[in-house]
A and B are shown apart, each in its own frame.
Chain A
């Protein structure tokens, strides 16, 4: 199975900050990577697919980059509604696997 490793596991940031999360795959997955946002008590929602394509309706402050094994997810200007947990997921092969998540908390 392809292992997805996210870093950091959590961190604190302030509204207006630029934040970058990383996700590393244990083997190459081309661009078959999605980023999800999950708020407490809610189901995850996809923000980015194909490593860098913004899902329709998602604000442009979110962006993704990378291919192969190393990926980044950036929020250019953190808003209050962005405090949540973010997961990367590979859909290159089965079993589908998720990173362990990065929790973005208010500083």
Chain B
């Protein structure tokens, strides 16, 4: 299995632009998680999906952030408009069972820099 795939791996954009991050989970995993990691705040859970349905989005910082999962093999995290404080590493992870007794498998992350 190729593992969790994220694209792009790096993104540099200017403030105000729309940013779309993409994730392909491991086949057969029912759960998909989006995280953001910064030096200041560590790894924060933004949202997670079960069978393509958003279960908990309490970690989404504000309305500028949105996430979708149109099918079992694809998810997007969109920031519109982007701001410099959104600069971070964004990880996608998938799990066969929602965190209860199974591990999460992380993608390599997208490093976002908003100028």
* Chain B associates with chain A: no
Which of B's residues lie within 8 Å of A, judged by CB?
none
Which of A's residues lie within 8 Å of B, judged by CB?
none
